[in-house]
């Protein structure tokens, strides 16, 4: 969910020229990626 929300924010930031919103979108995407990797590691350790 974070990745989708991040992509939307990044796209909106790009279209409007809002660098802060674009950066926030990238951060949300990274957060989503980390959550996914954390889940994969948890599954491996079971």
> Per residue in 3-34, pLDDT tens?
999 999 999 999 999 999 999 999 999 999 99
pLDDT of residue 3: 93
pLDDT classification of 46: cutoffs 50, 70, 90 = confident
Segments making up each domain of the chain, as ranges: 2-45
Assess whether pLDDT exceeds 90 at residue 35: yes
Alpha-carbon span 10 to 44, nearest angstrom: 32
Angle at 33 between CA 12 and CA 5, to 5 degrees: 25
pLDDT of residue 4: 94
Alpha-carbon span 36 to 27, nearest angstrom: 14
pTM above 0.95, yes or no: no
């Amino acid at each position: 969910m974070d990745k989708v929300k991040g992509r939307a924010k990044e796209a909106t930031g790009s279209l409007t020229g809002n660098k802060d919103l674009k950066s926030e979108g990238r951060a949300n995407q990274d957060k989503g990626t980390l959550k996914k990797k954390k889940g994969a590691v948890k599954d491996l350790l079971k």
